[in-house]
Structure 1
Amino acid sequence: MDKTRIVVGVDGSPQATAAVGWAATEAVRRHAELRVLTAFYRRRSSPDSHSAEERAGDILRRAVAHAREVAPEVEVKCQALPGYAVPILIHAAEEAALLVVGGRHEGGLPGLPIGSVSSQVATQARSSVVVVRGRHGADAGPVVAGLDDSPAAATVAGHAFEEAALHNAEVEALTVGGVKAPDPLGADLDAQLDPWREKYPDVRAHRAYVSGRTDKVLIQRSRSACLMVVGPRTHGYQGLMLGAIGSRLLQRSGCPVLIAR
């Protein structure tokens, strides 16, 4: 069986540095290999081609140094590839347990509009994706799982329990409904957590139902969480990674966001 791999995309920004630190720590927790990737332009017959590759190499060296500073025992490999960031990262994610990127910022990896790498990767990658932002590295607070009545709920719950076990945290299974709306799932969803409680007996978990606007509730809860876990296209969140709710969460979450697959 292949060794577990975590891939992190870097571009030299502070957000990418935060992503490297988070990914390195997670790699140690999972006994995984860390692979650091960056993308660069290679224009034919351009005097800037060599310097672009040199800049990419410098970005990688600094990223690897930071990973080893954060987690000296981590097994880390790096690679600079010519091309556009999103297809490179999505291809790398096919052989990874996790793909990690930094949050939105002014700038970014080559070939994309400002801030679009994290949102496009979160939408398209086949692996689970973590967008690192907010209180990264914070050990205090629960792992919050955004759950609804879609088939993806079991996947979200499973990832939440796994991450809670790795981070020595509790799980808060959160469902959001309309203002003053009754809990549509009730005991049925709570019972769906039982298999994960059995698999992770040391993880404390509780269920919460909150009335309100979904994006506002999730963002507010993220401020006291160590990780937010959501599904890619749960119909209860109206296409989380495709619509306004997902965009707001990736832009404003107070902690890293894991899109579970």
Structure 2
Amino acid sequence: MTSRKPIAVGTNDSAQSQAAVLWAARRAHRADLPLVILHVVDDRWVAEPYPWFGTLQQAGEELLKTAAGRLEGTVPVSPDTELLTGSVGGSLAKYSKRTSMMVMGSGSGHFGGTLADRALQVATAAKVPVAVVGTQDLEGRSGVVVGVDGSPESTQAVAFAAAEADREGDELTVVYAVDVPDPIIDAGLSPAAMAELIADEERVVLSEAVAGLKEDYPDLVVHQRLETERGAVAGLVEAAAGARLLVVGSRGKGAFKRLLLGSTAHGVLKHLPCPVIITRTDAALTV
């Protein structure tokens, strides 16, 4: 390990966040890293110290105690807990600087808010890999899936996914989804040969994405999958339907480089097929 920074997981006691706490605890145990369970009391609308705010803080402390207690006898970790105040997404994203990975539940309509205004905020602003966990049954699942598109972010995602798959004895599936002209629909605009030519060119991108993996991980089984019949989000969600983990980069090679979270990462989180890790190009591969 190159870092002893903890894995941190946010909780609001929803089913999704309970699943996230358990997932984070198991990962911290395997990686021999500390675990911190976080809860945020939203104080953005408190203009003065109302008496009931102390009640919210007390409830938050009890929630953290309950979350930590659920791990007893389940995962051999001794988590720390910390109560934060502020906006939920902003507070967790700021806290991420002190961690090696942030873990979030996929969201609900309860007090923690929805996926769009919680997990997406953290995934957008965090400086470390962010894992988003749903309530899917992971029993019997295997394999790591990673999306690529030739961007530096996807190169980082492949490196993370390969290390993850090799460490856990999983097979790795590298998926590249591209829009290839349909020879029937685009008749008159692009001949059938053009569609195949484009596909051949994109297979080069896919091959480059996995170049060097055999040397780094000689025992790792790597599958390459060029998806030409559906978009990136649908292709990745389908490929990861039975997987243990899906890894995507924070951004792709789209035109909107100013966006902190790309459309593919955004879309995958909206259709979570399994736990998803969003990697960052400026984050070390430590967990």
Give 3-state SS (helix, strand or coil) of 1:235's partner: coil
Tell me which of 95, 100, 103 is aligned to 1:97.
100
Question: What is the alpha-carbon distance in structure 2 between the residues aligned to residue 196 and residue 101 of structure 1?
Answer: 29
Name the amino acid aligned to 1:156.
A
Name the amino acid aligned to 2:242.
S
Query: Is it true that 1:65 corresponds to 2:53 in the alignment?
Result: no
Question: What is the alpha-carbon distance in structure 2 between the residues aligned to residue 215 and residue 188 of structure 1?
Answer: 18
Name the amino acid aligned to 2:79.
V
Q: Larger deviation: 80-89 or 239-248? A: 239-248
Name the amino acid aligned to 1:252.
H
Question: 1:37–1:80: 8 Å Cα contact kept in structure 2?
Answer: yes
Give 3-state SS (helix, strand or coil) of 1:174's partner: strand
Name the amino acid aligned to 2:61.
G
Measured after TM superposition, the shift of residue 138 of structure 1 is 3.9
Question: 1:89–1:121: 8 Å Cα contact kept in structure 2?
Answer: yes
Tell me which of 46, 51, 57 is aligned to 2:50.
46
Give 3-state SS (helix, strand or coil) of 2:4's partner: coil
Instruction: Report the equivalent of 2:218.
Output: 201
Instruction: Report the equivalent of 2:132.
Output: 131
Percent identical pairs in the alignment equals: 26
| 1:88-167 alignment runs, 5 A limit | 88-109=91-112, 115-135=116-136, 137-167=138-168
Name the amino acid aligned to 2:240.
S
Instruction: Report the equivalent of 1:33.
Output: 34
Pair 238,156 (structure 1): closer, same or farther in 2 beyond 3 Å = farther
Instruction: Report the equivalent of 1:173.
Output: 174
Question: What is the alpha-carbon distance in structure 1 between the residues aligned to residue 50 and residue 210 of structure 2?
Answer: 57
Measured after TM superposition, the shift of residue 76 of structure 1 is 1.3
* RMSD of aligned residue pairs (Cα, Å): 2.4
Measured after TM superposition, the shift of residue 153 of structure 1 is 2.3
Pair 74,199 (structure 1): closer, same or farther in 2 beyond 3 Å = farther
Instruction: Report the equivalent of 2:253.
Output: 235
Instruction: Report the equivalent of 1:189.
Output: 206
Q: Larger deviation: 234-243 or 164-173? A: 234-243
Question: What is the alpha-carbon distance in structure 2 between the residues aligned to residue 227 and residue 114 of structure 1?
Answer: 18
Pair 128,121 (structure 1): closer, same or farther in 2 beyond 3 Å = same
Higher Cα Rg, which structure? 2
Query: Is it true that 1:17 corresponds to 2:18 in the alignment?
Result: yes
Measured after TM superposition, the shift of residue 113 of structure 1 is 6.8
Moved over 6 A (4+): 237-241
Give 3-state SS (helix, strand or coil) of 1:67's partner: coil
Measured after TM superposition, the shift of residue 74 of structure 1 is 1.7
Pair 227,238 (structure 1): closer, same or farther in 2 beyond 3 Å = farther
Measured after TM superposition, the shift of residue 252 of structure 1 is 1.5
Q: TM-score, normalised by structure 1?
A: 0.88
Question: 2:100–2:128: 8 Å Cα contact kept in structure 1?
Answer: yes
Instruction: Report the equivalent of 1:213.
Output: 231
Question: What is the alpha-carbon distance in structure 2 between the residues aligned to residue 47 and residue 164 of structure 1?
Answer: 50
Give 3-state SS (helix, strand or coil) of 1:116's partner: coil
Pair 108,122 (structure 1): closer, same or farther in 2 beyond 3 Å = farther
| 1:244-255 alignment runs, 5 A limit | 245-255=264-274
Count of residues paired in the alignment: 258
Name the amino acid aligned to 1:154.
T
Question: 2:24–2:103: 8 Å Cα contact kept in structure 1?
Answer: yes
Deviations 1:91-117 (A, max 9, x none): 2211211110000210243xx677411
Measured after TM superposition, the shift of residue 15 of structure 1 is 0.7
Instruction: Report the equivalent of 1:78.
Output: 81
Question: What is the alpha-carbon distance in structure 2 between the residues aligned to residue 139 and residue 198 of structure 1?
Answer: 29
Any unmatched runs of 5+ in structure 1? none
Deviations 1:46-74 (A, max 9, x none): 12112101110111012112233431x22
Give 3-state SS (helix, strand or coil) of 1:165's partner: helix
Query: Is it true that 1:223 corresponds to 2:241 in the alignment?
Result: yes
Q: Larger deviation: 49-58 or 177-186? A: 177-186
Instruction: Report the equivalent of 2:276.
Output: 257
Measured after TM superposition, the shift of residue 247 of structure 1 is 3.4
Give 3-state SS (helix, strand or coil) of 2:219's partner: coil
Deviations 1:157-206 (A, max 9, x none): 11101221343211000000125551433245324424333333332112
